[in-house]
Amino acid sequence: MPKTIAEHPALADKFNQDEERVNWHDQTLWWVRAKRDKAAHTLPEWEELRNLASQIKHNVLANLSEYLIQFEENALKNGIQVHWAADAQEHNAIVKSILQKQGVSQLVKSKSMLTEECHLNEYLQQEGIEVIDTDLGERIVQLAEEPPSHIVLPCIHKKKEEIGELFHLHLGTPAGNADPDFLTAAARLHLREKFLTRKIAITGVNFAIAETGEFVVCTNEGNADMGAHLAEVHIACMGIEKLIPLRRHLGVFLRLLTRSATGQPITTYSSHFKKPRPGQEMHIVLVDNGRSRQLGRKDFRNSLKCIRCGACMNTCPVYRRSGGHSYHNAIAGPIGSILAPNLNMKDYADLPFASTLCGSCTNVCPVKIDIHDQLYKWRQVLVQEGYAPAAKKAAMQGMAFTFSHPAFYRMAGKTGKWFMKTTPFVINNNLNPWFKQRDMPEPPKESFHDWYKKNRQQNGHA
């Protein structure tokens, strides 16, 4: 029988040991959500743009094989070398082979959630290759030897004092200096030296355009451009779902992406890479790693529309109070919870349950992914596949029986008694998690059923 993992509740509980920190985390992300709202409200056509983006992405999913072939053909014409990786392992091996051909053992990398998903850093480190992440937030979590906790704001869980301490240890800044301006300036100097000396740069890809064979990378810091333009070899790693059909579709997506992510009207840089510069090598690695499988899951394929803005995390009341690491997956939050079980049902069986199904994620999603409905549907799949704890299964079967048999329910349920004993959320026992921080309602003298019998008997339908 498959073992059940229930990690999110335990990790979230740990995060909640420090309530002040939870408040700070929640408020910081809520502030980002509020900025998103403000940006969205400046465009009267916002909801129409979301529809357009969703429709374009649906067309992409329906024609993905054709668009991939078209993209490859155009990219090759542009002088870009195209690689195909069926899974994370192959992706990592391709990157390594390019490095080996160059005889290079150091590189800079701008933010790429795909390389996080493939665990490229760990892989390369084991091969003796040094990877420097150049996005400030990613560099901070790299120094802390942690994964990013958010796809757009990688170190949103860290306080500036902790970052000051990390920089003191690793970059030699004065102890106790936690000023964001000062720390950013220190990182600028530290990373500029890397940009100027590394011969290989890896970037992610925000959008790849079938029509032209080019790809677009969006950053605020300019790190992808600094890396790519100063390196002799540029490797861009992308999931196959990042394609869009036409260049002009960028008009829709670039209007939505950053407004949804941080509330900015657009990122500082939206760079269009079409050809390597003279003398430079440019590679694209097209990665499947389960995406074609997810494409075949009717209920879950819409998750492949995701443009990685992170809005669902910022709005998620559970994410804000449990932190990104509680999702133990490269991509945290609501979208991560519908992507992860596709990668591995057993390891991520807990994630679709880490939600109240409030639906706020679905409403902020710029490509209109039905995130909370997919969470519900994953729960059904996971239970059917045998990933439910035995105790929960027994409780549910008991509930199903009682609720299907009104007479038994009446007998069992004499004003709350059955509920107090059986229903998961009200088991009347101090070991029950309900009672840790909440009280139960006092059972009334009589149920509505009994009151009705007494007062409105004539209308009752037996």
Partner 1 sequence: MTIGLFIPCYVDQFYPKAAIATLELLEKQGLQVVYPFNQTCCGQPMANSGFAHLTQGCNNLFMQNFKDVDYIVSPSGSCVLHIKDHLHAENAADEPVAHHIRKRIYELTEFLTDILKIENLKARFPYKVGMHQSCHGQRGLKISQMSELVAEPFSKPEKLLRMVEDLELIELSRKDECCGFGGTFCVTEEAISAKMGKDRVKDHLEHGAEFITGADMSCLMHLEGILRRQKSKVQVKHIAEILNSYA
Partner 2 sequence: MVMHSREKILDAVKRNQPENTSLPAIPFFEQPFTDLAQKFSEVVQAIGGEVHPVSSYAQINTILKEEFGNKTIFTSAKELTELVDTGITYANAHAFADLELAVVEAHLAVAENGAVWVTEDLLQERALPFIAQHLALIIHPENIVPTMHDAYAKIGTLDYGFATFIAGPSKTADIEQSLVLGAHGPKSLLVFLLTK
Return the one option of partner 2, partner 1, none that residue 102 interacts with (CB less than 5 to 8 A, by type). none
Taking CB within 5 to 8 Å according to partner kind, which of partner 1, partner 2, none is near residue 355?
partner 1
CB of 204 to partner 2, least distance (A): 16
The span from the CA of 427 to the CA of 436, in Å, is: 12
Considering only CA atoms, which of 241, 219, 261, 251 is closest in space to residue 364? 261
Return the number of other C-beta atoms located less than 10 Å from residue 436's C-beta: 8
Least distance from C-beta 403 to partner 1, angstroms?
Answer: 4
Query: Restricting to residues 235-264, which ones interact with partner 2 according to CB under 8 A?
Result: 240, 245-252, 254-255, 262, 264
CB of 10 to partner 2, least distance (A): 27
Which of partner 2, partner 1, none lies near 449, with the C-beta cut-off 5 to 8 A by kind? partner 1
Rule CB under 8 A: say whether 410 interacts with partner 2: no
Among 69, 169, 394, 411, binds partner 2 (CB under 8 A): 69
Q: How far is the C-alpha of 15 from the C-alpha of 192, rounded, in Å?
A: 35
Residue 233 partner contact from partner 1, partner 2, none using kind-dependent CB cut-offs of 5 to 8 Å: none
331-351 as b/e, with b when 16 or more CB fall inside 10 Å?
A: bbbbbbbbbbbbbebeebbbb
170 near 143, Cβ under 8 Å? Answer: yes
Residues of span 302-341 touching partner 2 by CB under 8 A: none
Shortest distance, CB of residue 62 to partner 1, whole angstroms? Answer: 26
Q: Half-sphere exposure of 47 toward its Cβ, with a 13 Å CA cutoff?
A: 3
- The two tokens of residue 260 are 């949804």
Check residue 208 for interaction with partner 2 (CB under 8 A).
no
H or E element at residue 281: strand 281-287
Gap between the Cα atoms of 215 and 209, Å rounded = 6
C-alpha of 229 from chain center: 29
In this structure, the number of other CB atoms found within 10 A of the CB of residue 409 comes to 14
For the window 153-192, what string marks contact with partner 2 as x by the rule CB under 8 A? Answer: xxxx-xxx--x----------------xx-xxx-xx--xx
Minimum CB distance to partner 2, residue 247 (Å): 6
Least distance in angstroms from the C-beta of 418 to partner 1: 8
Distance separating alpha carbons of residues 290 and 270, to the nearest angstrom: 28
**Closest approach of Cβ 28 to partner 1, in Å?**
14
In angstroms, rounded to a whole number, what is the distance separating the alpha carbons of residues 389 and 383?
9
Binding string to partner 2 for residues 130 to 149, with x set by CB under 8 A, is what?
----xxxx--x---------
Return the one option of partner 2, partner 1, none that residue 188 interacts with (CB less than 5 to 8 A, by type): partner 2
From the list partner 1, partner 2, none, partner contacted by residue 403 (C-beta under 5 to 8 A by kind): partner 1
Judged by beta carbon distances under 5 to 8 A according to partner kind, the member of partner 2, partner 1, none in contact with residue 90 is partner 2
Decide which of partner 2, partner 1, none touches 32; Cβ closer than 5 to 8 Å per partner kind. partner 2
Question: Which residue, 52 or 354, has its beta carbon nearer to partner 2?
Answer: 52
Output the CA torsion sign for 98, 103, 105, 110.
Answer: negative
Identify residues 90-129 at the interface with partner 2 (CB under 8 A).
90, 94
For residue 282, the tally of other CB atoms under 10 A from its CB is 22
The structure tokens listed for 371 are 């995130």
Q: Of 13, 18, 45, 446, which lies in the binding site for partner 2, with binding defined by CB under 8 A?
A: 45
Sequence letter at residue 315: T
Choose which of 117, 133, 225, 370 interacts with partner 2 (CB under 8 A).
Answer: 225
Q: Which of 41, 277, 410, 417 binds partner 2 (CB under 8 A)?
A: 277
58-85 burial string, b = 16+ CB within 10 Å, else e? Answer: eebbeebeebbebbbebbeeeebebbeb
Near partner 2 by CB under 8 A: residue from 64, 313, 339, 364? 64
